[in-house]
Structure 1
Amino acid sequence: MDEQGAALAGADVTITNTETAYARSTKSGTDGEYSFPDLPLGSYRIQVTHAGFKAQTQTGIVLHVADSLVINVSLKVGAVSESVTVEASPIAVETTNGELTGLIEGAQVSELPLNGRNFMQLVTLMPGVAQGEGYSVTNKGLKGGSNLSVSGSASNGNQWLVDGANNNDTGSQRTILIYPSTESIQEFKIERSSYGAEFGGMSGATINLVTKSGSNDFHGSVFYSGRNDKLNAYDPILKDGCPTPLSPVTCPKNKFRGNDYGYTIGGPVKKGKIFFFWSQEWNKRIEGIVRTSHVPSMAERTGDFSKVASCSFFPAGGLTDPNPGDPGGPFTVAAGGPNVPDVIPQSRLTTQGLLLMTQYPAPTISDPCVNLNWTKSLNTPTPWREENVRGDVNLSKTLTLMLKFTNDAWTLGVPSAGFGWGSNPFGVIDESWDQPGRIAAAKLSKTIGSSMVNDFQFSYSANRINIQPSNVALEQQINNAIPWNFPTSGKMFGDKGPSAWFSGWGNAHLPGVWTIAPWQNTLDHYTWQDDFSLVRSRHTLKFGGMYRRSAKNEQNPNAEFGAIFNTVGFQGNTGPGTKTGYDVADMELKGMAVSMNEASNILINDIRWYDSAFYAADNWRVNSRLTVNYGLRYELLPNPYFADDNYTSFNPSAYDPNNLSSPCNGLLYSPGLKQNPCVAANQPAGGKVGPNRALWNNNNHMFAPRLSLAYDPTGKGKWAIRTGVGQFFNRDRLFALQIGGNNPPFVKNFTDPNGRFLDSLTVPSAPGSAFGTGFGGASVGGETSAHMPNSWQWNLTVQHELWKDARLEVGYVGNQNLHWEIRSDVNAVAPADRVTYFQCQNVTSAACGNRNVMFRPFGAMNQGSMTYFTRSGQSNYHSLQAFFQSRFQRNSTVQVAYTWSKLISDTQLIDTPNNNVDFYNPRANRGPDILNRPHILSANWIYNLPALQNQSVPIRNALGAWELTSIISLASGPSMTGIMGGVPIGDLAGTGGGGNEVPMRVAGQGCRANTGDSRQWFNPNMFTLNGLQIGKNGNSGYGTCTGPGSNDVDFSLRKNFKITERIKMQFSLDFFNLFNHPQYKSDSIGNNNGSFGVNFNGPPSGFDNNNIGTGNPASALFLDSAGNPVFEPQGADLDKKHTVANPGPGGSIYNGFTGCGANHLASPSGTQPQTFCASSIVNTTVGNNFGNVTQSRENGWRQIQYGLKFSF
């Protein structure tokens, strides 16, 4: 335009990349508009010439990833030979669209203090970003985690791109395939909300990272950074928690050694034509963690319990001998002990039970009565390496080619220290992990004329996970010692597979031991994508499409060699006198039946799926003040399936109550099979063919509209009112499909629900009602609806230029997630039957019968819980977001982001949500989500002090060119839920499953403890079971408490030296958690699903082993429907037939239904447990060690990193 603002048509406009000399030209249209679509990012200058006007050059134009810039050029009258040069503002108000984005520039990547040199930390600098507990700042590989929720989206709903290539691990969606080195990153942009139609496939944010490329000049670097725990502060949990009465040893400081080093080099192969960039980095770390546990003593492993016989956790009367007439002799009394039976004769010990005890290390504390008698610092090596290469070729003036390849290598060695799934904290049976990842991409860009560009890209993304056992000999010994229902020759690894899992339990405080190694996983993505841009007058049109083929082969991690859950009783009998009273002794005693299952084999889940998408979009600059973006994206995301079709899924529509003998009853199977697989497996016919190979209907109508606009009310580029709305579909995680491989008939699961022997397959000689065996039925299922997870996103924001290079954005941002995954128990007891189901515990009555068979909807086929997946979850997010950005002297910068928000959901928006408490009420878990963090403040700044170039060399070297940088993170803790943990008697809600019921809330009691001890996070007086109505959930709600938040300041001090004109040196000293503020992990109170267990004790006195009060009302656990205490009469014994005419003082008698009301079931035996009359709970107290944080976050104490870097 001219000086009066009139449009100039026919002006010659040339844009040139100042680093590579790449140039494109066009002419302005009749309205003076010009456009250069799809330029490579970089630094540019624009030159505009027109007859009768001075030539003008605009410099300092930096084009970032996915940018849409408006560069207005005003020409002055004069000769073309005269020129005017203007420098562009680096921070300008966005007037071209209404989408919310955030840019991380190269200086932030290279200069800000990053704990672990992990680029993901920079995403948290944006408004609306909430961290999940699985998110890791410091780690890479499988120890890393991308658990970040952006503007109310699911933490596993984000799309991670590297140079346009997919970087998502599509199993859990919570990790990525490669972690680009910070030295190789040019910049990246976060599409935060309501973005355009060119992005899709996930419903969260899109993080679009671009790596460095070469230029016409050679540039490179050599760098090193180091870490040593001797420079760090003490982990506050270890410092405050050791020594303790339970573990009277001094906990050592966690060992940490880190050496990160590498180099980069980039430049021209042929100037102006061919460029390359290469980087390589090594990160060698040793990370220590202090583990404490209880392990059996060496004497206990030989049947000698005399050393622990005087301990409080040992039975007061010594061991109970369930078979005192055994030919091997009765239990004996050791000399010098408490004079109680405490030694089992050697001939009565099982080889198998003794062998299982060898999975535990020897105690490190000699005192036999110390609960935590094993403490050790386990130092785990976790080396990581990356090679990255990129080439850019200008094939012609209108055709360019980009080629790139990145290879990551991450391993975690022995000891694994309890990392991951199927890994033990002890190191006796251990495993090593290996995860290589890689991305390769090729992109061909063609400029057609002056107004059209076409980009075609192919990319390949992949990773592998290999887990190898460290003690194959011991596992092989265990596998060969225990007899199996299925021959080892048919198991995947023969006798070298993972040994029997051991859950750990009871008064011996034994922790679980399990492993899944050897284990393998492969993932491959092949993606083809084409994007076409066309400029027509005031319209910039975009059209494109994407097609991706994906394959994931993952070993099903089932218990091929069984899982031991608990001991049942001698010879399969239950009741008093059938156990020794001490769990280690039970495991070692011959003739003791254990609850255990076994799988015939392990399947490889060969999962296949493809994604397709097509979009059309228009950026319409209506006039100089108003721009409208509108578009439509069509997603085709068919549900994944098994390539060999060897899996099934339970669905009620396939259930036949008249075909209970078939393990396949209720199962859908793939139409890709030639016949019913149950017939092929020689099982009774059952099940029915599913709707397709995925066993879920596909949604072929996923049209996702996008609309946004930006309005400049002044026309001067100082203000912008922006708004946007759009729908975003999300491919679900693969977990629901993966565990379908555990169903019959492809994997046979043999279950001994009430016991089997470790040394024999002989059925225990117990009463028929106490024992049952079988190949089991379905355990996993799902609906077949065509719903696909998706979200609607919207925003209304205002941007204003406060002063030159300073911009403030304030706005409202909302999100609604629909059709999200909900897991629940499809075999749950219906609400109308729950009181009766609970009251029928241990009742011998025709009316009660087998209560699981009678009251569970599919109990005749499966008497336990059955996991069922539906896509019926919802969430709502509302927020106020503010974002300030400024650039000032010496290229210094500052950013501040603040979010005030609330996220409500009925299913957790994380990779593995908790089960819904009630299958019949999908909204039962509704409340603040675990990702709900009401207040989040993040700030970062880079301040470059003067170089003092005019001062003397000593002063310049000492005081000049210092650089101060910092990241500040303050956030509320996540919303958490108190779940009934240990209770005096199980399943109070009567659903048949249990596990996610909430207790009652005590009026007037807050969540936060006020004890002066920062580790006592939750108030032990806030919950109770008293007043809880049987058959109903408590009233304390979900997500009603707040876990530990974050208060972290990272600071870096850097000194820059100019060695020569081109060579520079930088020394850095980074302080992470500068003020050493404790940062506690909320999942150390409970789990990473936001739940913390609330254990309850029964009545404090007179409460016997049968949960029955002794006649004192204060010892009753239950009240009947009339409010009377229910207890067992004094001197009575539930396990013996008796009739008592008179109840204890002031209470109901349990036999018959005296005091229970006319609607209760009659008892033909005249003898019933107290649950038969129960209506509500009374006389309970919260257990010990409630609500304590037990672990710090990885940045929970001050840590120091030092570094040196040379660059040219």
Structure 2
Amino acid sequence: MRRATARGVGEVLLCGVMIASALPAFAQGVTASIRGEVFDPSGAAVPGAQVTATQMETGLIRATTTNRRGGYVLVSLPIGHYRLEVSAKGFRTFIQEGITLSVNEAASVPIHLQIGSSTQAVEVVGNARLIDTTSTTLGKTVGEREILDLPLNGRNFSQLGLLQPGVVPVTPGLAEAGGSLREGEGYAVNGQRPESNNFLIDGAPNINAVDGGFVLEPPPDAIAQFKVLTSTANAEYGGEAGSTTNIVTRSGSNHVHGTLWEFLRNNKLDASNMSYNSADEYRQNQFGGVLGGPIRKNKMFFFGYYEGLRIRQAETINGIRVPSMLERQGNFSETYGSDGKVDPLLNLCPNPPQCTQPPQPFPNDTLPFIDPTAAKVLQLYPVPNAKDKYGVLDLYNATQILRNNEDQFGLRLDQYFNQQNVLMLRYMYGHSSLFDPLSTNGAGVPGFPVGEEHRPQDVVAQLTHTFSPALLGITRLSFLRYKFFFDEHLNHTSPASLGFQYQPTLAEAAGPPFIQFGGGGYASIGDPITGPRDTIQNSYALSESLTWIHGRHELKFGGDFRRDQINSVFGIASNGFFVFIPFPISNAFASFLVGQPLLFLQGGGNSPTGQGDLSRGLRSSNFAFYGQDTYKVSPRLTFNLGLRYDLTGPYSEIRNRMALFEPGVQSKVMPDAPPGLLYPGDAGVPAGLIPTEKDAFAPRIGLAWDPTGSAKWLITTAYGIFYDPCYNGPGGPLQAPVSAPPYIRTPQLLFPGSLSNPFANGNPFAAPFGSTMTLLTLDPHLRLPYAQDWNFNIQRSFGTDWLFEIDYVGTKGTKLPRLIEDNPSIPRPGQTWADQQNNIDHQRPYCMPNASGNCTYSSIGLISGGANSSYNALEASLRKRFGHGLSMLASYTFSKALDDVSSFNIAGSSSQDVAGDNDLAQNPFDLNAEWGRSLFDARHRFVLSYEWALPFWKQPREWYEYILGNWQVNGITTYMTGTPFTVVDESFNYDAPEITGFSAFRPNLVGNPNNGPKTVAEWFNTSAFRRINLSTTPAGVYGTEGRNVVQGPGFADWDFSAFKDIPLAESKTLQFRAEFFNLFNRVNLGLPNSDISSPTFGQVQQALQPRLIQFALKLLF
């Protein structure tokens, strides 16, 4: 028998390899299974018993027979409700109803037959056992009832992922499980980066290849279940090193069911705090419906949905400085300085940059002329409508309305050809448009709005074929298309009509340039520097899996193929960017009026005018193959053994418009390039810049032991390796304008010719390579990042509905991507930091002076794979399955997350949501000094979610019973300790990136920073820090403060909902809902000011959302 078993397993291994080779795993299973043993009254196994499972919604039937040990397994069952029937000669027929299957669940249903005739039946009603005695994967299912009933602001189901142990929000702003609108999509799971999560819908990829988040977000009413797999998933799961969120959409049934809804939020219902003013207009409406039913009974079913979202939100600007009416005419006789006196208007440098004359005052503090282009641009500036509290400065106040419109719909068809073949077809579409009149990326005044547009859609086809009761295959084909446009410039004023003589480099985004003032506090005007950022993602995926039940082995083999196409346009200052300072005129606005900028910058392409092709066409192909064996050694002991192989192709560009940096090596592809720049086709430079890694084998091993054999206890342990793909996320190496001279350039001119014609003294685009280049490139030895996961788990069930779990969970991230300064300015002996500022570039190792004596290369940002992370946690949960009107989940996590960088974002601290965080090391020569607490290190986190259908007056008779009966209350309560942050010195902000690659220095740590008063006026111990004196401190000596040593404010929140069901007629119910987010209006403080150079250092100046109220009506039929 052993030989036969080994031979059979070998045959399956060969079959699995053949299938994986024929069909190249990013798509994963969304089904469930039922397993168990059949016993006679004495406890002996009953072999050869017929076991049949019938899905109640559709009539689907799956059957098998028990093996010689009385065991049976029914695999790849659609989730839903089942009836199980078991018959054997000499025994009464056993029937059990009420079995509910969840996604990826292996339900355990043991059967005890009674002696008698098969025409006699024993019927019971009960669910499967709570403990899956064969699984070693950690993760919890969120069922349809929780998805529909728990309070969700914005009806974003992904917020419910935060209910599980080990899951924390990305930033404090997302700390509440109920979440803010469209937040909660990103979360960190067991110490892994948020961009490492994997998202699936019906087993098909649903991930944004650019930022790693959800693409499609169907409404809760269209979702049957989803499960977040948090640790040591089986070999069929991969493609990302973090968690896997597996979403299953609802399907139709033999009965017509539907829902209509309208959800309403209004600022008049909300509370206020230091960051939110309930007087500011806010209107939010979500409306839609679902409908499902049969097209042909027991054969074909449909399910469709639609949801719309409309938001109107006031954006207010108060007290921004704009030019006075006199200043607009060039008269500065009433312009006051910080001392409260009139500042004399001086001509500091009549002939910049050569200043040979002493400053000359202007008669009557009035300019003798105004540049014609400045006069036209001035018309875009709003006139003042307010004064400051001293009646001196001219200010502008305004309120604008942000508009956000979203619509989405989907349709699913399920065709049951017969009991062997089932076909599922699904299509989803979404569209959203945002009009933002006061974007944070744009000007500080109205008139320069930006827009966003998202248009996701996908189609999935899945065929399930049953070869035999023990052999089943699933083939899935999907296509995901996502168009998303950010920072669309909506002010299309022609630059030529304003008098500008240079050309925008993106004709479709032509508009006024961005103009910034470096002194006096005047508001900026013009189109944003960034944008447009237009991206179209096409992802094709094909997957195949084969499951074979052979004796005590459940073997699964499969493979996946995914092809990603990303076509993008990334504009940077395509209309130009001017900076004016109090030079050459002693007032920055006066320098603007005479047309004398300090700096001009414009991003462009490979042409003498900069109008080259700024588009990019990125391509990547990924293959994966896996084998998994669930080996039931005995009724009490199961081994899970798996191996996965990922072949992940780096992104290439269709016209090879990318570059690497290798010091001193001359390119043969582009011989005119300076030494160091290499291009695809050069020796050792593949199309994707880095070689394809071919040894990414990911083993998985787990053990599950039922010590009593009653499925009341379970002890498991598991280990696995998980690979991340080549990262291409926010600010990633291929999304941001990675320097690839001469294809993409951002030349800047100091003291350009004039406002109207900054190229009067020479066109920087005329030369294909700039005089001094700043680069961003990849480490040619970059490898795939990976994580090792391990855990030890104990489960104990109580009664029929209670389950307690306690786990130890560990992860270790290795070769994680990070950005480092590869060409830092090296201090010379005796230099101070102040001295080094005057000679930055020439002290770089790769300066390479050119013929003019200038350095060829300045800062070189290198995307390397040298980052690491570590996570250890005690995780516990107590769950009650819904029964007797009550369900709940309590989750607690005690954890420690450490790393040397918590995310990858080349944009630096300006794009970070957490104070003091930056992806760059303070000291590029000592990367180990960055090791510290992770941004998502929430040491303690507790979440309680519950649903309680009140048992009062279910059948009302009196009038008050009609009012007080049929209510249900639900809630999410969250407690979390504060997240860490770093104190920095932003006063040394301009030259620091050029010297060290970091945007701000850290001070010296001289005390305990967390021994503070914990008040709004001073949250942490500000006296624990001492600023570095740049004039006396030797260059190369850094602040002693470590990374993320200060603890931020904690978080506590109660989200609550109550709804009443009002029966209207047979099978029709009207439901009234009231939902409260932050029910008790607790003030959850934001992070304090972490800039030691700021007068508000240590103060908390913002708070998270106050109490928000949402009402809804739903019609269920």
Deviation at 1:33, TM superposition (A): 1.0
- For the residue of structure 2 that corresponds to 1:37, the secondary structure is strand
Conservation of the 8 A alpha-carbon contact between 1:545 and 1:612? yes
2:186 counterpart letter in structure 1: N
CA pair 364-536 structure 1, distance change in 2 beyond 3 A: farther
Q: Give the Cα–Cα distance (whole angstroms) in 2 for the partners of residues 660 and 268 of structure 1.
A: 64
Conservation of the 8 A alpha-carbon contact between 2:580 and 2:596? no
Match of 1:1120 in 2: none
Match of 1:726 in 2: 720
Match of 1:1185 in 2: 1096
Flag the structure with higher strand content. Answer: 2
- For the residue of structure 1 that corresponds to 2:384, the secondary structure is coil
Bigger shift: residues 93-102 or 460-469: 460-469
The C-alpha deviation readout for 1:740-788, integer Å capped at 9, x for no partner, is 55431123443324655324457779xxxxxxx9454351112111410
The match for 1:799 among 772, 795, 798 is 795
The match for 2:471 among 436, 449, 452 is 452
Verify: 1:904 aligned to 2:930, yes or no. no
1:634 counterpart letter in structure 2: Y
Conservation of the 8 A alpha-carbon contact between 1:430 and 1:515? no
Verify: 1:957 aligned to 2:962, yes or no. yes
The match for 1:385 among 386, 407, 413 is 407
The match for 1:461 among 480, 488, 491 is 480
The C-alpha deviation readout for 1:471-528, integer Å capped at 9, x for no partner, is 54435347x63343xx55xx3317x525433454334354576244554210111100
Deviation at 1:1207, TM superposition (A): 0.8
Match of 1:1064 in 2: 1069
Verify: 1:306 aligned to 2:308, yes or no. no
Structure 1 unmatched runs, 5+ = 240-251, 335-341, 570-578, 672-687, 766-772, 844-849, 1087-1091, 1096-1182
The C-alpha deviation readout for 1:1124-1178, integer Å capped at 9, x for no partner, is xxxxxxxxxxxxxxxxxxxxxxxxxxxxxxxxxxxxxxxxxxxxxxxxxxxxxxx
Q: Give the Cα–Cα distance (whole angstroms) in 1 for the partners of residues 825 and 340 of structure 2.
A: 36
Conservation of the 8 A alpha-carbon contact between 1:459 and 1:527? yes
The match for 2:236 among 171, 175, 198 is 198
- For the residue of structure 2 that corresponds to 1:214, the secondary structure is coil
Match of 1:836 in 2: 831
2:1091 counterpart letter in structure 1: G
CA pair 141-200 structure 1, distance change in 2 beyond 3 A: farther
CA pair 86-238 structure 1, distance change in 2 beyond 3 A: closer
Q: Give the Cα–Cα distance (whole angstroms) in 1 for the partners of residues 490 and 48 of structure 2.
A: 77
Conservation of the 8 A alpha-carbon contact between 2:738 and 2:775? no
Match of 1:400 in 2: 422
2:1059 counterpart letter in structure 1: R
1:190 counterpart letter in structure 2: V
Conservation of the 8 A alpha-carbon contact between 1:749 and 1:775? no
1:903 counterpart letter in structure 2: A
The C-alpha deviation readout for 1:1077-1117, integer Å capped at 9, x for no partner, is 123444xx56xxxxx4332xxxxxxxxxxxxxxxxxxxxxx
Conservation of the 8 A alpha-carbon contact between 1:418 and 1:424? yes
Conservation of the 8 A alpha-carbon contact between 1:90 and 1:805? no
Deviation at 1:75, TM superposition (A): 1.1
The match for 2:842 among 848, 853, 858 is 853
Q: Give the Cα–Cα distance (whole angstroms) in 2 for the partners of residues 1043 and 205 of structure 1.
A: 26
Deviation at 1:170, TM superposition (A): 0.8
Match of 2:1045 in 1: 1040
Conservation of the 8 A alpha-carbon contact between 2:822 and 2:860? yes
- For the residue of structure 2 that corresponds to 1:108, the secondary structure is helix
Q: Give the Cα–Cα distance (whole angstroms) in 2 for the partners of residues 827 and 617 of structure 1.
A: 47
Deviation at 1:988, TM superposition (A): 7.3
CA pair 1004-783 structure 1, distance change in 2 beyond 3 A: closer
Conservation of the 8 A alpha-carbon contact between 2:489 and 2:532? no
The C-alpha deviation readout for 1:1062-1091, integer Å capped at 9, x for no partner, is 111211111111011123444xx56xxxxx
- For the residue of structure 2 that corresponds to 1:180, the secondary structure is coil
- For the residue of structure 1 that corresponds to 2:85, the secondary structure is strand
Deviation at 1:199, TM superposition (A): 0.8
Q: Give the Cα–Cα distance (whole angstroms) in 1 for the partners of residues 307 and 176 of structure 2.
A: 18
> Equivalences for 1:55-204 in 2 at 5 Å?
55-89=93-127, 92-133=130-171, 135=174, 144=183, 146-173=185-212, 175-204=213-242
The normalised TM-score by structure 1 is 0.81
Deviation at 1:889, TM superposition (A): 4.7
2:733 counterpart letter in structure 1: A
Bigger shift: residues 52-61 or 97-106: 52-61
> Equivalences for 1:545-556 in 2 at 5 Å?
545-556=559-570
The count of corresponding residues between Structure 1 and Structure 2 is: 1037
Deviation at 1:287, TM superposition (A): 2.2
The C-alpha deviation readout for 1:860-897, integer Å capped at 9, x for no partner, is 34453222110111010111111110136533101111
Structure with the greater alpha carbon radius of gyration: 1
Conservation of the 8 A alpha-carbon contact between 1:568 and 1:755? no
Match of 2:387 in 1: 366
Q: Give the Cα–Cα distance (whole angstroms) in 1 for the partners of residues 115 and 829 of structure 2.
A: 88
Conservation of the 8 A alpha-carbon contact between 1:743 and 1:778? no
Deviation at 1:818, TM superposition (A): 1.0
Q: Give the Cα–Cα distance (whole angstroms) in 2 for the partners of residues 287 and 562 of structure 1.
A: 30
1:287 counterpart letter in structure 2: Q
The match for 2:733 among 711, 732, 736 is 736
> Equivalences for 1:416-815 in 2 at 5 Å?
417-418=438-439, 422-466=441-485, 471-474=490-493, 476-477=495-496, 481-484=499-502, 491-493=505-507, 497-508=510-521, 510-511=523-524, 514-565=528-579, 567=581, 569=583, 579-591=584-596, 593-594=598-599, 596-599=601-604, 600-601=610-611, 603-652=614-663, 654=665, 663-671=673-681, 688-734=682-728, 735-739=732-736, 741-753=738-750, 755-761=752-758, 774-815=770-811
Q: Give the Cα–Cα distance (whole angstroms) in 2 for the partners of residues 155 and 424 of structure 1.
A: 31
1:822 counterpart letter in structure 2: R
Conservation of the 8 A alpha-carbon contact between 2:150 and 2:1057? yes
Deviation at 1:425, TM superposition (A): 4.9
Task: Give the fraction of aligned pairs with identical amino acids, expressed as a percent.
Answer: 25
Conservation of the 8 A alpha-carbon contact between 2:1012 and 2:1019? yes
CA pair 511-710 structure 1, distance change in 2 beyond 3 A: farther
- For the residue of structure 1 that corresponds to 2:984, the secondary structure is strand
1:1184 counterpart letter in structure 2: P
Conservation of the 8 A alpha-carbon contact between 1:91 and 1:887? no
Deviation at 1:568, TM superposition (A): 9.0
The C-alpha deviation readout for 1:982-1027, integer Å capped at 9, x for no partner, is 14x97579935441431112324436554x4x37544443322157
Q: Give the Cα–Cα distance (whole angstroms) in 1 for the partners of residues 1056 and 367 of structure 2.
A: 62
Conservation of the 8 A alpha-carbon contact between 1:308 and 1:369? no
CA pair 1004-908 structure 1, distance change in 2 beyond 3 A: closer
The C-alpha deviation readout for 1:283-334, integer Å capped at 9, x for no partner, is 111123333463322433332233332554888555454339999x965465
Conservation of the 8 A alpha-carbon contact between 2:451 and 2:490? no
Conservation of the 8 A alpha-carbon contact between 2:40 and 2:114? yes
Match of 1:343 in 2: 366
Verify: 1:1199 aligned to 2:1108, yes or no. yes
Q: Give the Cα–Cα distance (whole angstroms) in 2 for the partners of residues 655 and 364 of structure 1.
A: 60
CA pair 463-283 structure 1, distance change in 2 beyond 3 A: same
Verify: 1:256 aligned to 2:282, yes or no. yes
Deviation at 1:930, TM superposition (A): 1.0
CA pair 799-1055 structure 1, distance change in 2 beyond 3 A: same
- For the residue of structure 1 that corresponds to 2:321, the secondary structure is coil
Give the superposed CA RMSD: 3.2
The normalised TM-score by structure 2 is 0.87
Conservation of the 8 A alpha-carbon contact between 2:554 and 2:631? yes
